């Protein structure tokens, strides 16, 4: 009898966190794709446009590789890796009961889908498509909105892990303290 009321709020919490994951992912995906459409029309065949001196600018490029153009001849492998990331994120996000983790997974999912869409549907063809990049960070690299979402998600993952925040929102420190407080039955 007491199990049913407890199970109902838990299910509602998971459903609402899934909704957060989906909404954040959709927003990231839409912003990423819309900015790529804009970049292709507004920046094609133009030289780099400075936004903040040499630190930040707009420069259109099509990237066959991963970050920093690593693996340009392995586009199909990067495509399959992106599919694996999407599947793992979707499966793991089903267990999320924390707002911060839900936003984190939404950012990661939206970013991965944004770049995966390029790999699947852009030239030179399916599984070999080049990612549209247009945000130039100094002379270091050129990225896009999906990359920003992925980097922010990675930063949040590191922060959450360091702080001991679990997928359900509890903290690892509390679990250890509760575990130490439990009486031991050593025999």
First to last CA, the chain: 34
> For this structure, is 147 an active site residue?
yes
**Cα maximum dimension of the chain:** 77
124: helix, strand or coil:
coil
Residue of 133, 139, 168, 186 marked active site: 133
Q: Which of 88, 105, 87, 78 is nearest to 19 (CA)?
A: 105
E strand map for 9-123: 49-52, 56-63
Question: Which residue among the candidates 32, 44, 147, 185 is catalytic per the annotation?
Answer: 147
- Contact by Cβ (8 Å): 76, 106: no
Per the CB < 8 A criterion, the answer to whether 124 and 136 are in contact is no
List, by residue number, the catalytic residues.
133, 147
């Amino acid at each position: 009898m007491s199990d049913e009321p407890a199970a109902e709020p838990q299910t509602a919490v998971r459903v609402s966190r899934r909704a957060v994951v989906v909404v954040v992912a959709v927003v990231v995906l839409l912003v990423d794709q819309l900015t790529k459409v804009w970049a292709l029309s507004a920046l094609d065949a133009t030289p780099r446009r400075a936004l903040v001196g040499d630190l930040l600018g707009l420069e259109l490029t099509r990237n066959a590789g991963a970050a920093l153009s690593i693996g340009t001849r392995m586009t199909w492998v990067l495509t399959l890796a992106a599919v694996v990331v999407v599947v793992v994120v979707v499966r793991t996000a089903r267990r999320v009961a924390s707002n911060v983790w839900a936003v984190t997974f939404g950012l990661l999912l939206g970013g991965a889908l944004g770049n995966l869409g390029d790999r699947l549907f852009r030239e030179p063809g399916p599984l070999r498509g080049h990612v549209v990049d247009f945000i130039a960070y100094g002379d270091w690299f050129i990225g896009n909105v999906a990359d920003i979402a992925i980097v922010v998600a990675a930063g949040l993952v590191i922060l959450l892990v360091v702080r001991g925040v679990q997928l359900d929102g509890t903290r690892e420190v509390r679990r250890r303290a509760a575990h130490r407080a439990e009486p031991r039955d050593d025999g």
